[in-house]
Chain A
Amino acid sequence: MTTDLNDVIMLATDTTRSRAYIQNMVRRGLRPAAVIALASAKSNLPGQSKTVLPTTPAHADDDTLWQAGHFDPNTALADDLAALGAPVEMLDTTNINDPEVVAAIAARSESVMIYAGYGGQILRQDVLDTGVDFLHVHGGWVPSFKGSTTNYFAMIAQDRIGASAIFLTADLDGGPVIKRATFPTPPDRTMLDHLHDSAARAVVLCDVLESYAATSAWPSENPSEDEKDETYFVIHPVLKHIAVYGSGDD
């Protein structure tokens, strides 16, 4: 059975994260009203892999996150969109701030857009002012792990990873929190960039969409005042190697 989310559209890109979102939505029977897809044949942007990725991490049988949020990172985006079954407006650009994209979003009547843009792009004010609320799932637990590549820092500090659904604002990862979840560090720590980080986000996204479909209201969470607010920048490879090859036991 498929649940149509009539007030929700999706912005998809040619990235592993979009594949994770779409395939998990298909598996859980969730369909947005439409998709605006940004893709360019020449692009090589953060979040894209130009090599064929493993379709399964090692120790998948013991990997509860992967079991919940698994996806094939090597599919053709067009095939995933066809399986989703929502109308697609394909735009030949990779830039969320492109005037054509801004116009396409502004022309929609739905109130919420699932955001799965290319990595490293900041939404400019004219995008945020289109009248749509952007539902973004950050790879990390906010507000303690805001910013970039935070799940590597969380693996070192807490031996777990997280994902947080928020509505985007001009304040980086500082918008209202919709739902958060943590997951045990996966048994295979080497696939965070393209598999586990996207899987964690997809699980939280689908939990949020199911909650909305059931109640017609977006869930919300209020982080406690004693939660540390910290913004991280892209992890240095030395710390990344410690996060990946370390045991997790202090």
Chain B
Amino acid sequence: MTAYRYNQPDLMEKPERYFYTALQGPEFLDAYLADRADKIAALGAAEPASLKLGPDHSDDQMDTARLLDATPDDATLDKLVQRFEVTRKIYARYDTRLRKGFGPFDNLALYARLARFVAEKYDRDGSLRDLNALIKLTDLLTSQSPAAQASVGFDLAAALTSEMAAIRTLMRQKGLTDDH
């Protein structure tokens, strides 16, 4: 039976680069959907959580939690997505042009909040670029321990639910059903 392996082991410690990934047949999509459904079910109901804000560095650096605590504009989201795609990390702080990251990169709440915003942006724009980044973000999030996933449960559940709906819609449009 085909297994979904792209959210193991811990992608925070060992990032996945996705180069030349092997084809596993259409059954792979079923394995992916089943894995994501399991992850959503395990989260259960979760309350929204506030991000823990860092100091306002003003001139030379921006606190990522502050960027994601409000609803960022699309340009900011695009830059954070670009940074995540290039480095597979979301840092605690960035320079004012959002090019160089600073500080720790293990705050799961930042990844989850970014994933939720990217999912909402995909719902608005339908850009495959965003959907591509979203799946990678949720791979990283669901590669963490169940307790860690639960700690960001509200954002993660919203991101996963939107992602699964988007993939199912895309599969239907392309003549693929999730019952191979």
| CB atoms of A246 and B23 under 8 A apart | no
Size category of the binding interface on chain A:
20 to 34
Q: Which residues B1-49 have CB closer than 8 A to chain A? A: 6, 17-21, 23-26, 28-29, 32
Contacts of A248 in B (CB 8 A): 174
Interface segment, one of A29-37, A128-136, A226-234 = A226-234
For residue B93, CB closer than 8 A to chain A, the reply is no
| Distance of A230 Cα from B24 Cα, bound (Å) | 28
Which residue of the partner chain, among A233, A246, A247, A250, contacts B132 with CB atoms under 8 Å? A233
| CB atoms of A242 and B129 under 8 A apart | no
Shortest B82–chain A CB gap in Å is: 8
| CB atoms of B135 and A156 under 8 A apart | no
Total interface residues on B, CB under 8 Å, equals 32
Contacts of B139 in A (CB 8 A): 236
| CB atoms of B26 and A241 under 8 A apart | yes
Contacts of B18 in A (CB 8 A): 234-237
Q: A235-B132, A236-B136 are in contact. Are A242 and B29 (CB under 8 A)?
A: yes
Q: Which residue of A lies closest to B175 (CB)?
A: A247
Contacts of A244 in B (CB 8 A): 23
| CB atoms of B19 and A237 under 8 A apart | no
For residue A238, CB closer than 8 A to chain B, the reply is yes
Q: Which residue of B lies closest to A155 (CB)?
A: B174
For residue A239, CB closer than 8 A to chain B, the reply is yes
* Contacts A237-B6, A242-B29 supplied; 8 other A-B pairs, CB < 8 Å: A46-B19, A157-B128, A234-B19, A238-B28, A238-B32, A241-B23, A242-B171, A246-B170
17 pairs, A vs B, C-beta closer than 8 Å: A153-B129, A193-B20, A230-B127, A232-B132, A233-B82, A233-B129, A234-B18, A236-B6, A236-B132, A237-B6, A237-B21, A238-B167, A241-B29, A242-B167, A245-B176, A246-B175, A248-B174
